[in-house]
Amino acid sequence: MEKVDRKICLDTNIIIDFLRKNPKTKRIIDNLGEEFYTTQIITFEVWSGRLKHEENMIKDMLGSLIKIDFNENSALKAGDIQMKLKETGDLIDFRDLFIASICIVNDLELLTNNKKHFEKLKKFGLKLI
């Protein structure tokens, strides 16, 4: 049977938990054993919330991940989703919207501990782990 390559984007809370040696998060990442991605939005979130003693560790971790930018396709997707969310009065934080749109456009699964933030975006094609 052929192995299916999964493209998995690590959310901010997953990266932080991994860096802080959370055993559950480490186990999940080890079991997935894939090439991992992140977005430049997540890079910003992790870096802006860092503790001084974590800087080198964070740089190493971020350096090991494939980065996906927020580009025109992601922006268009985020705009479409935002319009639909406005219609229902169900808006979310723009950073979560940008992360989700990057994942949708690039066919990435999002590994997050904040499923509540992203759950409503599954109907737009977001795949959550």
Residues 62-114 have pLDDT tens digits of: 999 999 999 999 999 999 999 999 999 988 999 999 999 999 999 999 999 98
**For residue 1, is pLDDT > 50?**
no
Percentage of the chain lying above the pLDDT 70 cut: 97
Amino acid letter, 82: Q
Is the pLDDT confidence value at 33 over 80? no
pLDDT at 40: 94
pLDDT at 68: 95
Q: What is the pLDDT of residue 37?
A: 96
pLDDT band at 5 (very low <50, low <70, confident <90, very high): confident
Measured in whole angstroms, the distance separating CA 43 from the mean position of its chain's CA atoms is: 10
For 8-128, give the CATH class.
Answer: alpha beta
Q: Check residue 55 and give its pLDDT.
A: 92
Closest CA to 15 of 44, 1, 5, 106: 44
Paired tokens of 19? 């860096």
Domain ranges within the chain, ordered by starting residue: 8-128
How far is it, in rounded angstroms, from Cα 107 to Cα 125? 9
pLDDT score of 3 = 52
CA distance 56 to 124: 36
Give the pLDDT score at 117: 79
Query: Rounded mean pLDDT of 27-37?
Result: 87
